[in-house]
Amino acid sequence: MKDEFKPRIIGFLCNWCSYAGADLAGTSRLQYPPSLLPIRVMCSSRVDPLFVISAFLRGADAVLIAGCHPGDCHYQEGNYYARRRFACVRKVFETLGMESDRLRLSWISASEGPRFANVITEYTEKIKKMGPNPAKKNIFL
Amino acid sequence: MKVAKIKVKDNIEKTVLSFLRETIDKKLFDAILIPMMVPAGDSYAWVLAQDKSLLDGAYYLPPIMSVQGAKALSSVTKGGKVNKRVAAIMRPCEIRAAIELSKLNQIELENIFLISMDCPGALPLKDWLKDPKRGVDVFKKVIQHFVDEEPKPDKSVRPACAICHRFSDSDAVDLHIGILGTEGEDILFIPHSTQAEAIFAELGLSLNENLSRWQKGVDEVLKQRKKKRAQVQEELKSTVVGFDKLLDTFSNCINCHICQSVCPICYCRQCYFDSDKVKHPPDDYLMRAESKGNISLLPDKILFHLGRMSHMALSCVGCGACEDACPMSIKVAQIFSLIADRSQGLFNYIAGKSIEEPLPMRVYEDDEFHEVESP
Amino acid sequence: MSSVLKLSRSAEEGLRELLKFLLEKKRVKAVFTLCKIKKNGTVSYSLITDADMLKDALPLFPLMPQNAGKLLSRLTLKEHLAEPIAAVVRPCELRAFIELVKREQGSLENFIFISTTCPGTYPLEMSVNGDISKKLPEYEEDVKKGNVISDTRPICKACEHFMPYSADMTVALIGEKDIDKNCEIFLNTEKAEKLIEGMDGELVERELETEEVKNLRSKRQEEKRKLFEEINVEGLGLSGLVETFGRCIGCHGCSRVCPICYCVLCDFDSRDYENEPSTYESELKKRGGVRVPPNTVLYHLGRLTHVSVSCVGCGMCTDVCPADIPLSTIFLKVGEEVQKIFNYIPGKDVEEAIPLNKFEKDEFTEVED
Ligand code: SF4
Ligand code: SF4
Ligand code: SF4
Ligand code: SF4
Ligand code: SF4
Ligand code: FES
């Protein structure tokens, strides 16, 4: 029998909201798949598009950027800029015929433990259906 | 000198690869750094291959030099020694550049086993890209002409290769692969280190001593190349030596600095000639324009080339990478080799020949070069 | 209707005369334009202060040896111009310069921009053996007819932005039947009108946007569609990217000549994108083999995300690429799609902020999940 495909998702979580949301999901003992490798960043706007592309080419099955809801960013406007940059990188992927669904932007606040668990569960399922990232085995990248 | 002779099966390429496969099978190496055909089939890229099966797409001697091999080895070992035993198989000028880079602390040779070969040259990238399939055939002919009992120079190789006289230099390698003078029937594995000899023993390769056919081939090609080199350099002197002629030669230059970025010796992360030091306020450019009525931009074009020469000519290995990549087809490598010959000659130094010889600018003698001092 | 200075000589001579007038009357300190450098007919951008030297100027020569925007940025990186310079540049070069000015890499102050309705330029490699000079008669005929000119760069054949957006003066070329006899210089700004005061020639009124211009625009749009189809950018996918960029030799020449890539030290030449021996080991474990030097596709994807909002489709990257990769086609396509979502035309208006440096509170909700 073939090993079941277990997606690996790299998550860039903003310290003030989404990382705290993840914490809350944990302390509340909510169940969600162990597919996320979280990386804490101070704000969603700290995520350089290159981080996302790098993670993808290194073989992450998906990349999630999560931050405070619009209006709640602890640096006032960071997430608005992050959203524009994300729109740009997604457009680049789409225009090149790459699977842009492997990139995701979600707003998750510190109090939204259940939402965090939902996002991870739902996204993991979606990626499972998409299958492994083809970049994983390519040696010519 | 003792050498192992192997009968060629199918062709030289395949025979060398099956030797490399065996070294992996026998766990003599953990990985091999070797050019591999890229998926589109239109070029070759360096791959550090651990999986033996990858070697099916490998070419120990590809028709082109897409990336100078020393740059690849530097990428692998710049951060320190690798914990694997790696065999790196490269053309002689790539080996020489690697030796220079190791002296410049950009390559760590520990755990690296260097293999080179008699090199017939490489095809110009521009010609190759027009029709890679045809290029493969052209290169087959180049090899045939090269290994013939009476080797003939082949016009399809790069200008830098046509005048290369160190196509079989092998002092610094562990193992040299001799194909000259063999008519493509045999391959000679010539060991240059005790490690190489140990590997031969592991693989059960017997050593015999007959090098005469090979030596004859080497001598003949050497004669041809030296002659060509002298001739080309003589012609070059009349067109580029002298400041005005030099300006003329580089007047086409568009300042892209690709020659510098592909040169294995130019290892600086940030070239001085891209730094803030060469960026000036507008008045500076205007003043220069006013002094002649007209300046071509950017005015530090020639400074870049002369500066680069003075930085690296002592280590230039004449590999031709700069010229091959220059979008304006400027004879960069031919010019640089000419200067390199002269400047290395001053110090009796041959770039990349031996790892023991220190870089000329790192040593001095109390009593020398009085001729450059003014009384 | 705009006011136009009409000179009864060829477009190139007329332009040269204008430049001479500006220098002699000391209305400008210097002229920035293409200039002959060799007998075989190649040109280089030059800074000319002596009016007599203008005899070597070839302001309309169909070659772009460097993107002028990058050079103007170099001239004004440290300080703005203290005295006026007239710069003859192509529309994409002017747009590139404006993008650089928005990034504080140069200053518009004291520049007088003279541009043309741009028929396109030949590939750099054609300048190497002097082929362009032979082409000039044919080129002129096609310019007069308003044709897409054969053997010019694919990116020029597909360029829609061939009318300059913010030039002070525009020399009409496309579809102008007698550019060998008449030179018509559109005066787009008050500054321009002032500068030519006292110059011989007739002042007339006319439109720049002629039928020929409109026709060429639609022909070029068709060329662009074909070009994109040929490369099939949207069908590339990861494997297509690996195939397309597989032959890249990693020289980074494309970023060095790109006007938008202004970084002193490109990210991809920095320590961050070099592999440590341990990274190589972990990659080997994962894949069994790894390309060296690494990050070829990353470089191109990264550069695409960095420059796509501002790529002006000048084609320099393709022109210098030793591996013959159709970079500018891919960059133009991705650039257009990205620019579309921000409703942005790079280099059109210096007042308009770069899209990634601003935001609206209520937008792009479709990219959030
Ligand atoms: S590669 Fe050629 S054009 Fe570019 S800087 Fe070097 S000599 Fe000049
Ligand atoms: S200057 Fe040119 S020929 Fe000399 S080492 Fe560098 S790339 Fe090779
Ligand atoms: S110019 Fe061409 S070969 Fe050089 S880095 Fe860019 S794509 Fe690669
Ligand atoms: S990416 Fe290429 S076409 Fe676009 S601005 Fe840069 S050099 Fe010009
Ligand atoms: S690729 Fe990005 S980091 Fe590199 S020079 Fe261009 S904009 Fe700068
Ligand atoms: S601090 Fe959370 S997105 Fe800016």
Per the omega criterion (within 30 degrees of 0), is the bond before B109 cis? no
Out of C224, C259, C278, a domain closes at: C224
**Within this chain, do residues C305 and C214 fall inside the same structural domain, yes or no?**
no
* Nearest residue to A19 via CA among A52, A68, A62: A68
Looking at the domain assignment, is residue C78 inside a domain? yes
CATH assignment of A9-134, given 3.40.50, 1.10.3470, 1.20.120, 3.20.20? Answer: 3.40.50
Name every chain C residue with its beta carbon within 8 A of the beta carbon of A72: none
Asked if C46 lies within 8 A of B294 by C-beta distance, the reply is yes
Over chain A (141 residues), what is each successive 10-residue block's mean pLDDT? Answer: 85 96 94 96 96 96 96 94 96 96 96 96 96 94 94
Q: What is the pLDDT of residue B156?
A: 96
**Within this chain, do residues C348 and C256 fall inside the same structural domain, yes or no?**
yes
Looking at the domain assignment, is residue C215 inside a domain? yes
Q: How far is CA B126 from the centre of its chain?
A: 18
- Contact of A72 with A17, CB cutoff 8 Å: yes
**Within this chain, do residues C176 and C275 fall inside the same structural domain, yes or no?**
no
| Residues paired with residue A106 on neighbouring β-strands, in sequence order | A66
Q: What is the pLDDT of residue B244?
A: 84
The finding on whether C35 has its CB within 6 A of some atom of ligand 4 is: no
Q: What is the pLDDT of residue A2?
A: 63
pTM reported for the whole predicted model: 0.95
Interface list for B 87-126 with C (CB within 8 A): 125-126
- Tell me how many domains chain C contains: 2
Q: What is the pLDDT of residue C39?
A: 67
**Within this chain, do residues C170 and C319 fall inside the same structural domain, yes or no?**
no
Name every chain A residue with its beta carbon within 8 A of the beta carbon of B45: 140
**Within this chain, do residues C142 and C251 fall inside the same structural domain, yes or no?**
no
Q: Per-residue confidence of chain C (369 residues) as pLDDT tens digits?
A: 789 999 999 999 999 999 999 999 999 999 999 999 876 678 999 999 999 999 999 999 999 999 999 999 999 999 999 999 999 999 999 999 999 999 999 999 999 999 999 999 999 999 988 889 899 999 999 999 999 999 999 999 999 999 999 999 999 999 999 999 999 999 999 999 999 999 999 999 999 999 999 999 999 999 999 999 999 999 999 999 999 999 999 999 999 999 999 999 999 999 989 999 999 999 999 999 999 999 999 999 999 999 999 999 999 999 999 999 999 999 999 999 999 999 999 999 999 999 999 998 989 988 888
Q: What is the rounded distance in angstroms from the CA atom of residue A4 to the CA atom of residue C63?
A: 58
Out of C161, C193, C224, a domain closes at: C224
* Nearest residue to B313 via CA among B347, B344, B274: B344
C244 Cα–ligand 5 center, Å: 20
* Residue matched to tokens 């592309």: A53
Out of C224, C251, C271, a domain closes at: C224
C238 Cα–ligand 2 center, Å: 34
Amino acid at C16: R
Domain that holds residue C198: 2-224
Q: What is the pLDDT of residue A52?
A: 96
Q: Which two tokens stand for residue B51?
A: 């999986």
Q: How far is CA B53 from the centre of its chain?
A: 28
Q: What is the pLDDT of residue B74?
A: 97
**Within this chain, do residues C252 and C294 fall inside the same structural domain, yes or no?**
yes
DSSP 8-state symbol, A102: G
Count of CB atoms within 10 A of residue C349's CB? 13
Where exactly are the structural domains of chain A? 9-134
Secondary structure of chain C as H, E, C letters: CEEEEEECCCHHHHHHHHHHHHHHCCCCCEEEEEEECCCCCCEEEEEECCHHHHHHECCCCCECCCCHHHHHHHHHCCCCCCCCEEEECCHHHHHHHHHHHHCCCCCCCCEEEEEECCCCCECCHHHHCCHHHHHHHHHHHHHHHCCCCCCCCHHHHCCCCCCCCCCCEEECCCCCCCCCCCEEEEECCHHHHHHCCCCCCEEEEECCCCHHHHHHHHHHHHHHHHHHHHHCHHHCHHHHHHHHHCCCCCCCHHHHHCCCCCCCCCHHHCHHHCCCHHHHHHHHHHHCEEEECCCHHHHHHHHHHHHCCCCCCCCHHHHHCCCCCCHHHHHHHHHHHHHHHHCCCCCCCCCCCCHHHCCCCCCCHHHEC
- Ligand closest to Cα of A65 equals 6
Distances (CA, A) of C349 to A58, C95, C164: 39, 9, 11
Tell me how close the Cα of B31 comes to any Cα of chain C, in angstroms: 9
B322 Cα–ligand 2 center, Å: 6
Q: What is the pLDDT of residue B67?
A: 98
Q: What is the rounded distance in angstroms from the CA atom of residue A59 to the CA atom of residue A62?
A: 9
Q: What is the rounded distance in angstroms from the CA atom of residue A89 to the CA atom of residue C304?
A: 9
Which residue ranges have their beta carbon within 6 Å of ligand 6?
Answer: A 14, 16-17, 43-45, 67-68, 73-75, 78-79
Task: Pick the residue of B64, B85, B251, B258 with the most C CBs within 10 A to test the interface with C by mutation.
Answer: B258
Q: What is the pLDDT of residue C280?
A: 94
Looking at the domain assignment, is residue C44 inside a domain? yes
Give pLDDT tens digits for B107-128. 999 999 999 999 999 999 999 9
B234: exposed, middle or buried (Cβ count in 10 Å: 0-12, 13-18, 19+): exposed
Chain A: residues touching C (Cβ < 8 Å)? 49-50, 53-54, 57, 59, 70-71, 77, 80-81, 83-92, 94-98, 104-107, 119, 123, 134-141
- ipTM of this model? 0.95
Residues of chain B with pLDDT under 50: none
Name every chain A residue with its beta carbon within 8 A of the beta carbon of C333: 95
Name every chain C residue with its beta carbon within 8 A of the beta carbon of A136: 286-287
**Within this chain, do residues C287 and C191 fall inside the same structural domain, yes or no?**
no
**Within this chain, do residues C15 and C144 fall inside the same structural domain, yes or no?**
yes
C178 Cα–ligand 3 center, Å: 41
**Within this chain, do residues C220 and C237 fall inside the same structural domain, yes or no?**
no
Tell me how close the Cα of A79 comes to any Cα of chain C, in angstroms: 10
Give pLDDT tens digits for C23-76. 999 999 999 999 998 766 789 999 999 999 999 999 999 999 999 999 999 999
**Within this chain, do residues C131 and C94 fall inside the same structural domain, yes or no?**
yes
- In 3-state terms, what secondary structure has residue B88? strand
